A and B are shown apart, each in its own frame.
Chain A
Amino acid sequence: MNNKDSMFARAMPILFGALFLIGLVAPFAVYPTFLMKVLCFGLFACAFNLLLGFAGLLSFGHAAFLGSAGYVCGMLVRDLGLTPELGILGGTLAAAALGWVFGVLAIRRTGIYFAMITLALSQMVYFIVLQWKATGGEDGLQGVPRGHLFGVIDLSNNIAMYYLVFAVFCIGFFIIYRAINSPFGQILKAIRENEPRAVSLGYDVAKFKLLAFVLSAALAGTAGATKTLVFQLASLTDVHWHMSGEVVLMTLLGGLGTVLGPLVGAATIVSLQTELADSVGSWVTVIMGVIFVICVLLFRRGIVGELQALIQRAGIR
């Protein structure tokens, strides 16, 4: 076991380095808007995975963080004329605050109730966004300007925008990676595996869960705020419960509790949606549902999880 762990540990920096280089040159080979969408959803799914994959908490309300951060960022940039980096920061902070509220309420219950509470709370956020005038109701916030980064760099250029999104993703990913490989992450895993034992060891389990929840919500917010800048739009679909389900699917498909799984899952789902949107129309929902069912029944380790298992088996031989 130790051998294999160290093998992974040695391979990781090389893999990350390679991915980083690919990320740097990618916009010259692939349509940047598509890449930006993948990175935004990738960060969203990574943030979600921090909670489900490492702390074992299934939130069915993560759309609330993605969406509300998007709206806050949109209002700050469009209506108050702030610069994009302040918009992202504002969105992140708003999502963190909302995450704190959700977290305080939801961690009072465990398991299935936790999922239902987060879903119900996010539905409440959905109705508030729908009815509040400042959010534009059913139209959403349209015409959000991308603006100038730090007041200098013009982001209306897609390549410049891409590098901002890439940088945001890398920072977010690094924070998550550090968190799961820190003592904090170890305690989260302990809570996931055996909560009563973690309690008996003297850990304040509620505090750690809440911290994980707030961190996850904040980074989901970062993704949402960035996404608003990319598409110059904050819409109701981002707060809808379908979005909460989608991020679960991305994480599950990519590999629950793996470091890179959520990014792979997000890339797969976003590509599928882009490809399918033209050809099958409203069947997209059905196909997402089918993937969900297949993942749960036959493919619970996800793409990255299966790959890791394959490599391990090869290593043993």
Chain B
Amino acid sequence: MEIFGVPSALLGSQLLVGLINGSFYAILSLGLAIIFGLLNIINFSHGAQYMMGAFVAWIALNKLGINYWVALLFAPLVIGALGVVIERTMLRKLYKLDHLYGLLLTFGLALIFEGIFRDQYGISGQSYPVPELLQGGVNLGFMFLPIYRGWVVVAALTVCFATWFIIEKTKLGAYLRAGTENPQMVQALGINVPLLITFTYGFGVALAAFAGVLAAPVYQVSPLMGSNLIIVVFAVVVIGGMGSIMGSILTGIGLGLIEGLTRVFYPEASAVVVFVIMVIVLLVRPAGLFGKA
């Protein structure tokens, strides 16, 4: 079976890779957007925290014998806790300053994390086995679907929509949105805004670590896996705008799919296609697809 002269199996598998990448873009840009909303900081270490999530899972499996399913919960908790410490000891001191200092601080942290792991593990990747339950695949007729890859998409999307639900539909989410609009007023109403901020940063970072654990069996676990990804995610954030949670999710997945298609039809451009789209969006709609200006 062929579609546009391309075998459907190739098209299908590249679209699947695109969907997986897109799910990672979605989780990471979601985390960035939540953190930016309340802290007014772009978390440059987001990529490093994603990488550390994968490494915590890898270390947990190889040194402590902790399996994938536990790691899926354990790694986000560890990295989220680290995020809480970072927010309490460092980021907190920068809120009164220009936003740019937050970017620079987290950039410095990203260098530290990346450097430490590079010193310990080198730049070659470590492989993480696919958990037993999710090994193998199914033949869908037009393509072969490895079960783990299907699981990544389902799990990532579930987490994305759960986050959307928490923020848009629950009381906690209402506090969060109110805090984004007017922190002084929310504080005056008796809600502990500093605690909310700490929690938000921890949660955003934990999302990144969760994505890292999901990614571990798909990609090699390497110290550099986060830094290249995070720059693409920045472009995703510029394209989508950080105003809307659903916007972040849709933009992330859409761009992942477009990247996958590019890999089929014009592979040379697949590394830059997201940036090209960013340029077009900036020219046509500078505020971003879902931005409020």
Contact (Cβ within 8 A) A285 B118: yes
Contact of A109 among B108, B114, B286 (CB under 8 A): B286
Task: Judge whether A285 and B94 touch: CB under 8 Å.
Answer: no
Residues of B within 8 A of A288 (CB): 108, 111, 115
- Indicate if B112 sits at the interface (CB-CB under 8 A): yes
Nearest A residue (CB) for B122: A282
CA distance A248 to B106 in the complex (A): 13
Residue from A112, A248, A284 whose CB has the most chain B CB atoms within 10 Å? A112
Is A174 on the interface with B (CB-CB < 8 A)?
no
Bound CA–CA A113/B237 (angstroms): 9
Query: Does A252 make an interface contact (CB < 8 A)?
Result: yes
Query: In the complex, which residues of chain B have a beta carbon less than 8 angstroms from the beta carbon of A119?
Result: 231, 234
**Interface pairs A-B: 3 shortest CB-CB:** A292-B108, A289-B111, A285-B115
Partner of A286, one of B90, B99, B119, B271: B119
- Is A307 positioned at the interface, with any CB of B under 8 Å from its CB? no
Which of the residues B93, B101, B227, B282 comes within 8 Å of A105, measured between beta carbons? Answer: B282
Decide: A105 near B279, CB < 8 A? Known: A111-B99, A289-B111. Answer: yes
- Residues A296 and B282 in contact in the complex (CB < 8 Å), given A282-B115, A283-B115: no
B42 touches A124 (CB 8 A): no
Question: Chain B residues near A293 (CB, 8 Å)?
Answer: 90, 105, 108-109, 112
Task: Quote the shortest CB–CB distance from A127 to chain B (angstroms).
Answer: 4
Contacts known (A112-B100, A112-B103, A121-B275); A297 close to B93, Cβ less than 8 A: yes
Chain A residues contacting B111 (CB-CB under 8 Å) are: 245, 285-286, 288-289, 292
Cβ–Cβ < 8 Å partners of B235 in chain A: 116, 120, 123
Give bound CA distance, A131 to B271, whole Å: 10
Judge whether B105 and A109 touch: CB under 8 Å. no
For A127, the chain B residues whose CB sits under 8 A away are 271-272
> Closest B-chain residue to A113, C-beta based?
B238
Q: List 28 A-B contacts (CB under 8 A).
A: A60-B103, A105-B279, A108-B283, A108-B286, A109-B286, A113-B238, A115-B100, A116-B234, A119-B234, A121-B279, A123-B232, A127-B271, A127-B272, A245-B107, A282-B119, A283-B119, A285-B114, A285-B115, A286-B112, A286-B115, A286-B119, A287-B115, A289-B111, A289-B112, A289-B114, A290-B112, A295-B108, A296-B94
Known: A131-B271, A285-B115, A286-B111. 17 other contacts (CB 8 A): A108-B282, A120-B235, A120-B275, A123-B275, A241-B227, A252-B104, A283-B115, A288-B108, A288-B111, A289-B108, A289-B111, A290-B108, A292-B104, A295-B104, A296-B94, A296-B101, A296-B108
